[in-house]
Amino acid sequence: MKQTIKQIHWHGRTIFRLSRQCLFMLATLSCGSVAYAQAVGTVTHLSGVLTVKHADGSTAVLAIKSSIAQGDTLVTEANTYTRVKFVDNGEMVLRPSSQVVVKSYVYDVDHPESDHVAIQLISGGLRSVTGLIGKRNHDAVSFDTPTGTIAVRGTNFGALFCQSNCGSVPTPNGATPQNGLYVDVSQGAVMVANSGGQQVFQVGQFGYVASSTTPPIVLPPSQGVPVTMPLSISKNAPAAAGGATGTAAGGVDCVVQ
């Protein structure tokens, strides 16, 4: 680049001045970096250890008030529950030993057609309450799971994926849940679809999907698996700072080297 830096002599001192072209490029790079890391959600409740793997591969231990960005993979340790509030007032609570990817979360107040939410449940379980995006643009919200995709309709629903690790999950009949995906609906409706078929689940219904090639089915309440959360996580009052894990409320993330 030519003429990007000029030397100016003023009162015996040499001053370096950047050209307009160079300043514009620096501003563009800076703005791009800010946009890339733009927060789409915030940790509002936390009990235990919550880590994140960012899209650039870096990792950190999160705290209350920590920001969540697109591309983040959230991981809860054993006995850890956490609650995240998104920019459209949607909320998601994660169970212990869960792994969830916020693949996309785009909320444009003035352009609903640009809305897009894509969450991927890799393992464990979650409970989600639809925000403004799901209420005004149903087709813009989806949750991918190992056995099928969940589409929402203004919903409060739970999803739990069992991989021989749900022995401690309470069930109405006391039996250990079999491997597969379980869903329950408290408000609205969800549709679960995979290569085996699709099924709509209404308020009060329970669903089960054994694999990605078997159709989703409705379970009787006695066989359903409700995804429940502790009152300290599900209620609106934020969790206390500190706690057994030393989680701070200052919003400062601890980078894991």
Round to whole Å and give the CA distance between 196 and 70.
Answer: 30
Model pLDDT, residue 170: 86
The domain 40-256 having CATH identifier 3.90.1150.10: the answer here is: no
Q: Please give the pLDDT value at position 16.
A: 44
Cα 50 from Cα 60, distance rounded (Å): 9
Global pTM?
A: 0.79
Q: How far apart are CA 194 and CA 209, in angstroms?
A: 9
Q: What's residue 257's pLDDT?
A: 30
Q: What is the pLDDT of residue 238?
A: 54
Would you kindly state where each structural domain of the chain is located, as residue ranges? 1-36, 40-256
**Residue 84 pairs with which residues in a beta bridge?**
43, 92
pLDDT score recorded for residue 37: 60
Encode burial over 2-20: b for 16+ CB neighbours within 10 A, e otherwise. eeeeeeeeeeeeeeeeeee
Q: What is the pLDDT along the chain (257 residues), one digit of tens a residue?
A: 444 444 544 444 444 444 454 434 434 333 333 334 689 999 999 999 999 999 999 999 999 999 999 999 999 999 999 999 999 999 999 999 999 999 999 998 889 899 999 999 999 999 999 999 998 988 899 999 999 999 998 899 999 999 999 988 988 888 899 999 999 999 999 999 999 999 999 999 999 999 999 999 999 999 999 999 998 897 775 544 443 333 444 444 444 43
